Structure 1
Amino acid sequence: MSWWRPTNPRLADRVPDGGLRRFLAAAPPPRGTPVRELPLLAVDLETTGLSPETDHILEVGMVDVDGLGIPLGTATALVVDPGSEVGQSATIHRITDDDLAAGVPLPEALDRLFDRLAGRVLLAHHAAVEVGFLTEAVRRVHGVRIDLPAVDTLTLGHRALGFDEDLPRDALRLWRLRARAGLPSYRGHDAMIDALGCAELYLALVAELAPRDLGQLRRLS
């Protein structure tokens, strides 16, 4: 996946005016951006399952990371109405069909998320999940395939622990890496709380790994 998103600007005119178009048209932060100045958006998704092709986004959690700070007033959660029932996944994330009835449609959720992401770097824990669901959702709604590079706290955590180490199965879970960093325990499977938990873990890992700029951060993650 190209960090520079070379195909994205050419796709901007193929989607309606709004947040996704602004994201596609915006230049990503340059590779030389110092980490202390880097704008990111920590994102967490709650879904009905693990397959972007067959499962649905139910909730989007977001919080800005501005350099080495987290403006807590930017923490946001959007419940998404996928037009289907929650099913058995409710036992994990505790989102009910009644909650979905008050949610926003997927196109609106995507528009609001990508408006926040324009000019920023996506940050997530096990980012392949967020990238997979978001790119598939954009393809399904708008018929385009976007590039969505991300910084992954799971990979950063793995590097901090040592790639060659024989790790316990749960060593790279968000809560376990947070405990290792001395961060407080939060309730899991709440999109906004998990996004905030990811953002805090990112800052702890950046302090430990000491990447100089975005280019070095991307090589680490």
Structure 2
Amino acid sequence: MNQLGPLYSLPLKELPIVIVDLETTGLRPQIDAICEIGAVRFRGGLLEEQFTTLVNPQRTIDEEVVKIHKLTNEMLDHAPLLDEVLPDFLSFIDSSVIAGHNAGFDISFLAPAALNWGLDLYRSSILDTAYLSRKLIPKLESYALSNLAKTFTLPETRFHRALEDAITTGHLLELLFTKAEEQGIHTLAQLEAIYPFPGTPRPYSDLSPLEQTIWKAITHGFDIEIAYRNRKQEVSIRRITPDRLSTTKVHAHCHLRDEQRVFLTDRIEKYKLLDPTSEANKSSDPS
């Protein structure tokens, strides 16, 4: 266990938790940069405090990315640099549990900068609401934050802005704690023992095109259509919702079998990223 030992015995809904969300210039933490930080402190279902700031990424943002989060280059030109806002942000986190939707993505951007200030974020307790949602609420069609908010009528916000997404994630986490308690999971120690943080993938540039597609699906809650070859050398078309990528395997919900499965990446012969908002893609589900 990590440096947050005293928190492990607390009831889940009494934990001091900071939910973090970032907007970035892209998906590659080694190349891209943070352009907005949003964070909220939740305890007992109540929003206690919030932190938000734009960040000058010191690079031009592609138009396709601007369409997602609506942060233009002009809006960020006079924003503070990451090194200027990071001390206040790390102070805001303090010794809280860190949570986020696809938390591995956000931590992969924040961790290198935090190390420069003497804080190893990977020694914090980290809860990933995307991963926990797949485990505690299985068989949903999509685990994108917007879909979960709609499915469970969470408070409406503007999606793809950091603070609003952090607030929505906080309400989602409270729902997940209730689901965990229904399974007899009452403390952080119990939750991490059963559903440990899945971690962060290898550097994006080191991933194969298939692995990059899987990581993109995990990050954005997309599904993937794959042509998969089994041990009998039979190929079937499947729609999967991936939640974890290891060196040789992808852990995913298989819509064809309607269950959690493990797929060997070297048996995936073809693949296509599916946007869950597309009706055409929904209709392509082979199940």
**TM-score, with length taken from structure 1:** 0.77
Deviations 1:163-197 (A, max 9, x none): xx4x53xx111111222222243221110000001
Query: In angstroms, what is the RMSD of aligned CA positions?
Result: 2.1
- Greater share of residues in strand: 2
Would you say the 8 A contact 1:31–1:214 is kept in 2?
A: yes
Runs of 4+ in 1 over 4 A off after TM superposition: 141-146
1:56 is matched with 33
Task: Say if 1:115 and 1:181 are closer, same or farther in 2 by CA, change over 3 A.
Answer: same
Matches within 5 A, 1:123-134: 123-134=99-110
Query: Residue 136 of structure 2 aligns to a residue in which SS?
Result: helix
1:68 is the counterpart of 2:41:
no
**CA-CA distance at 1:145 after TM superposition:** 5.7
1:193 is matched with 164
Q: Distance in 2 between matches of 1:97 and 1:186?
A: 23
Q: Which amino acid aligns with 1:173?
A: A
Q: Which amino acid aligns with 2:127?
A: V
Q: Distance in 1 between matches of 2:79 and 2:165?
A: 19
Q: Unaligned regions of 5+ residues in structure 1, if any?
A: 6-26
2:19 is matched with 42
Q: Distance in 2 between matches of 1:119 and 1:129?
A: 20
2:189 is matched with 215
Q: Distance in 2 between matches of 1:145 and 1:183?
A: 32
What is the percent sequence identity of the aligned residues?
28
Q: 1:150 aligns with which of 120, 126, 135?
A: 126
**CA-CA distance at 1:104 after TM superposition:** 1.4
Q: Distance in 2 between matches of 1:158 and 1:195?
A: 19
1:120 is matched with 96
Would you say the 8 A contact 2:25–2:61 is kept in 1?
A: yes
Q: Which entry has the higher C-alpha Rg, 1 or 2?
A: 2
**CA-CA distance at 1:133 after TM superposition:** 0.7
Q: Unaligned regions of 5+ residues in structure 2, if any?
A: 197-287
Q: Distance in 1 between matches of 2:177 and 2:79?
A: 35
Would you say the 8 A contact 2:8–2:189 is kept in 1?
A: yes
Q: Which amino acid aligns with 1:78?
A: T
Would you say the 8 A contact 1:41–1:65 is kept in 2?
A: yes
Q: How many residues in Structure 1 have an aligned counterpart in Structure 2? A: 190
- Greater share of residues in helix: 1
1:77 is the counterpart of 2:66:
no
Query: Residue 154 of structure 1 aligns to a residue in which SS?
Result: helix
**TM-score, with length taken from structure 2:** 0.61
Task: Say if 1:142 and 1:205 are closer, same or farther in 2 by CA, change over 3 A.
Answer: closer
Deviations 1:36-95 (A, max 9, x none): 321010110000011110000000001101233222xx2231100122222332121111
1:8 is matched with none
Matches within 5 A, 1:134-173: 134-139=110-115, 141=116, 146-147=121-122, 148-162=124-138, 165=139, 167-168=140-141, 171-173=142-144
Would you say the 8 A contact 1:32–1:214 is kept in 2?
A: yes
Task: Say if 1:56 and 1:217 are closer, same or farther in 2 by CA, change over 3 A.
Answer: same
2:218 is matched with none
Q: Distance in 1 between matches of 2:60 and 2:5?
A: 36
Would you say the 8 A contact 1:58–1:81 is kept in 2?
A: yes
1:4 is the counterpart of 2:16:
no
Deviations 1:132-161 (A, max 9, x none): 11113335x569865244111111211122
